[in-house]
Structure 1
């Protein structure tokens, strides 16, 4: 059964959101400031990392690592030079 889980964090003045759709082939979509900027797929409960850029001058490269399971999915924002940040889940 497929379910959608939503995650969000504000980082460096930008909105970073991720949607993890679970199921046989989990799909991860990443939005930066409301625009889809990356997506990825994985098998089972294997983590997937999606690389994106934040539109600043110069652009900031970050990654979203999604772990679809087991249990409730989790997302982390990964950026160079800072500690990994947990992306809180949004209920909708």
Structure 2
């Protein structure tokens, strides 16, 4: 509850601040579902090609790998720890690469995605999809 005094020293009506319009805050045990409950989207432009990784909601959501907007790899669900997808850039000859998706095992935090191309790791930034 909040109350203030007006210019004459009289107390104004108290106002209440509450979260009735917004969703209630999750309980501490539900923090994992808040962090892992969302979909994640990673994107990187590499060598004139667009590489995108979409990770479905939750720890068991699907993973899809797109190159230039076309799905080239799909995994029905993902597990905690390391998930690896492979693809090829459509060059002549085709250029193979791997996607490393690190899903934390113990600490509730978002996944991290890395492109492994020619033995070099390129972190893939997460992007907001509206």
Same fold (TM over 0.5): yes
In structure 1, list runs of 5 or more residues that go unmatched. none
Q: Does 1:10 align with 2:45?
A: yes
Match of 1:21 among 38, 56, 77: 56
Q: Which has the higher contact order (CA 8 A, sep 6+)?
A: 1
Larger strand proportion, structure 1 or 2? 1
Larger helix proportion, structure 1 or 2? 2
Q: Provide TM-score, normalisation by structure 1.
A: 0.86
Q: Provide TM-score, normalisation by structure 2.
A: 0.63
Offset of 1:27 from its aligned partner? 2.1
Offset of 1:68 from its aligned partner? 2.9
Contact 1:20 1:28 in 2 (8 A): yes
Max radius of gyration: which structure? 2
Separation of aligned partners in 2, 1:5 and 1:30? 12
Offset of 1:21 from its aligned partner? 1.6
